[in-house]
Amino acid sequence: MEAIHKKIEVPVMSDLYARGEVPEFLFWVGSAGAFDDRYKKVTRAFVKVLTHLGTSYAVLGVEESSSGDVARRAGNEMLYQMQALMNIELFRGYGIKKILTCDPHAYNTFKNEYPDLDGNYEVIHHTQFLGQMIDEGKLKLNTGTFGNTGITFHDPCYLGRANGEYVAPRKVISAISGRLLEMKRNRSFSLCCGAGGGQMFKEAEKGDKEVFMERTSDAIGTGAGIIATACPYCMVMMTDGLKYSNQIDSIRNYDVAELVALSLNL
């Protein structure tokens, strides 16, 4: 992971705007990507890839707040609309047309819910962007980085079932490894990690088993040495599941962006 932490200057939207520049993409970092110690590594990894590709992008920096997803899922519609309208006004001021994000929840909200408030953008999840770069021949990856280690992919609910994207993350993983091991429950039949819909922020309801433990068992059952995720919530749940299963030292949990950053042909 050492190479991922090399210092890279991240362009900030306000700085570019002051110089009369408009980047192609807004990279929406999200609260997990900005504040969660584990997911900060995913943000760094994706920024490394964007820099490697010479992508025209910028972040909002201190101007970024929340997409409003959690507020709406938790039932606070007024707070959601306040957050959404504030973002839409900010995006309009910067002339933002395309949004890149590693968070399927923000992806879903920007893509499917902001248009109701007259916020219309081309929204791209980072796995879709990486898959497109591979298709265009711009992203060359080292297929030997992880040797013969099997990789299984957990489908995020808001990327998969909510938006029908199952191909892109698997395309990226297959470009890195020849050993993509599917769980029995995958794609549209995938099981939620247990954190979406605001569940991340509330106590578990009565039951025999935590959802994240059930899903981690699915992943462990494949015999894979790496669980690949593409969502900050899923990463927390899978990592916790590995800890509770005493597998944290034998099975690693990487975001797809990290797998790519570690496999770059520099």
Element (H, E) at 80: helix 77-94
Scanning the structure block, which residue is given the tokens 């519609």?
77
Q: Is 122 in the same domain as 186?
A: no
Q: Is 231 in the same domain as 164?
A: yes
Q: Is 68 in the same domain as 151?
A: no
Q: Is 186 in the same domain as 110?
A: no
Q: Is 86 in the same domain as 113?
A: yes
Q: Is 114 in the same domain as 76?
A: yes
Scanning the structure block, which residue is given the tokens 């954190």?
195
- What is the sign, positive or negative, of the torsion defined by CA atoms of 164, 167, 170, 172? negative
Backbone angles phi, psi at 252, to 5 degrees: -100, 150
Element (H, E) at 218: helix 211-220
Q: What is the mean pLDDT of each run of 10 residues along the chain (266 residues)?
A: 65 97 97 91 97 98 96 95 98 98 97 98 98 97 93 97 97 94 95 69 68 90 97 94 93 97 88
Q: Which whole-number Å values give the CA distances from 116 to 65, 77, 95, 99, 113, in the listed order?
A: 20, 13, 19, 17, 6
Apex 81 CA angle, 78 and 84, nearest 5 = 150
Cβ pair 123, 111 in contact under 8 A: yes
Q: String of b and e for 91-125 (b: at least 16 CB within 10 Å)?
A: beebebebbbbbbbbbbbbbbebbeeeebebebbb
Q: Which of 60, 95, 128 is the last residue of a domain?
A: 128
Domain containing residue 239: CATH number: 3.40.50
Backbone angles phi, psi at 144, to 5 degrees: -100, 5
d(CA 66, CA 87): 8
Confirm whether pTM is higher than 0.95: no
- Give first-to-last CA distance, the chain, whole Å: 15
Q: Which of 128, 143, 159 is the last residue of a domain?
A: 128
Residues 6+ apart with CB under 8 A from 129: 100
**What pLDDT sits at residue 200?**
56
Q: Which of 128, 157, 175 is the last residue of a domain?
A: 128
